[in-house]
Amino acid sequence: MSIQDLGSIGEFVAALATILTLVYLAMQIRRNTSVARASATQDVLNSHRLLIRELLTLNPKVDDIFVRGIHSFTSLDRGEQRRFHYTMSEFMLHAQNALQLQQKGVLDNSDADVWMGFALQILRMPGSAQWWVTQRRIMDPAFCAEVDERLQKPGESLTDVLPHFILEDGA
């Protein structure tokens, strides 16, 4: 066997090793992407659970303010408007995060649509709509444009989906 033959065998082995390395790296990237997507989905879900738990479940006063506020922001006193603002900001920032993760390909479309749908249901309530008009500027402009576009289409409000948010006096 000549040196030239050995060189050809070496080139073949190197090419094969390169191909195997690329296949391995592609599999690792796919696996890492899958793990990142699962982690992002879990993070969005956990943050929503915490949001509901900390703001509404464990704090009946804020829960009451939220329910009254989604019906009429202007009927709240100044302190209640601030609490409502904080709560709404959290919900909208959560939806914004989900949309941004979806746009980056980290969160599945169906998962992002759930969070955006919830935000839109809230914003279709009269008091939330009042809040959105003046407070939307604290959000990412691209998110606001997406929300405004989706709000132009017919859809359900929060009380259509969750009737327990209807005020006891029927409003």
Whole-model pTM: value is: 0.71
Q: What pLDDT sits at residue 74?
A: 94
Can you give the chain as a three-state secondary structure string? CCHHHHHHHHHHHHHHHHHHHHHHHHHHHHHHHHHHHHHHHHHHHHHHHHHHHHHHHCCHHHHHHHHHHHHCHHHCCHHHHHHHHHHHHHHHHHHHHHHHHHHCCCCCHHHHHHHHHHHHHHHCCHHHHHHHHHHHHHCCHHHHHHHHHHHCCCCCCHHHHCHHHCCCCCC
> What would the mean pLDDT of 113-134 be, rounded to a whole number?
93
Read off the pLDDT of residues 33-85 as tens digits, 9 standing for 90 and up.
Answer: 666 666 665 665 566 566 666 666 677 888 899 999 999 999 999 999 999 99
Please report, for the chain, the start and end positions of each structural domain, with discontinuous segments joined by +: 39-165
Q: What pLDDT sits at residue 47?
A: 67
Read off the pLDDT of residues 61-75 as tens digits, 9 standing for 90 and up.
Answer: 888 999 999 999 999
